[in-house]
Amino acid sequence: MAITDGIVLKVINVLVFAFNLGSNVYSFTGTYGKETYLTPASYAFYVWSLIHLLLLGFVVYQFTETGKTLIIDKIEWRFALLGLLTTIYTWLGVRQYHILAFVASILVSAAVTAIYIQVKRNHRGGNLADELFVHLPFSLYHAWALVLVVLSGFEAFGREAHHHAGIGTKVFVFLALLFLETTAVGYAFQSNEGDIGGSAVITWTLWAIFEHQRSNAFIHWSALGFAILSSFFLLKALVLTWKSGKSGLHALHDEERAPLIPGSS
């Protein structure tokens, strides 16, 4: 295979990666924006660093024959679109256009979902480079985009943290935490294949919310409870995967991987 096959898209992917990385390094410190009762500690945003590190491998891997087959032939222009939408979301978030940033976060989530589906559909077991530079970064990105939708929604419509948290605020925060926790369980035990990376991202975020939300006892301890539950099921998924004797993204039988919470798979 000539390295120039699909060269236009390959170059665009490299440029999108570089521009998006620069944009996120500049802006995503975890300290900008509106402080809400769901805002996590700043270390939650380190997920961006891991995603970008893996995507560096992604843009290099596309120049190989096996990488070109999946990235250029299957993912096609979706990665460039995702990078553009992420940059727009970043720009809006930094300037605190919260409602527009929320809308942009939904578009980012939709764009990464399109890639996530393509990656799952074209899964090739046993290829370490595929797993590390394609499957893992988009598993993390997919879960993180969902987290950003929830956080952006609270920034757009939620009460700021320096205001008193009434019963309505507490209920909405509790429901958001419940949604994140059950989604983390769903990632870990989805169908015949667990998505450990996606589950870990949301679990990490729940611990960061618990760490940061100290001004309201109900929210603080609710976040702890959901973080513990999410960690338990993540650990269970890891143990079952290890016991299967497979490579971490292969699955056990449905009944073995079923979570303890009904309806969360």
Q: What is the pTM of this model?
A: 0.88
Cα atoms found within 13 Å of the Cα of residue 56, Cβ hemisphere only? 7
Provide the 10 A C-beta neighbour count for residue 180: 25
Model confidence over 22-75: pLDDT tens digits?
666 655 544 456 899 999 999 999 999 999 999 999 999 999 998 999 999 999
**CA 66 vs CA 58, 134, 249: distances in Å:** 12, 11, 19
What is the rounded distance in angstroms from the CA atom of residue 11 to the CA atom of residue 59? 9
The domains located in the chain, with CATH, are 1-160 (1.20.1410), 164-265 (no CATH)
Asked if 148 and 202 count as a contact pair (C-beta separation under 8 A), the reply is no
- Residue 205, pLDDT > 90, answer yes
3-state DSSP assignment of residue 199: helix
- Residue 260, pLDDT > 90, answer no
What is the rounded distance in angstroms from the CA atom of residue 99 to the CA atom of residue 152? 8
More reliable by pLDDT, 119 or 164: 119
3-state DSSP assignment of residue 203: helix
Model confidence over 79-134: pLDDT tens digits?
999 999 999 998 898 888 999 999 999 999 999 999 999 998 887 766 889 999 99
Provide the 10 A C-beta neighbour count for residue 38: 25
Residue 52 CA to chain centroid, in angstroms? 12
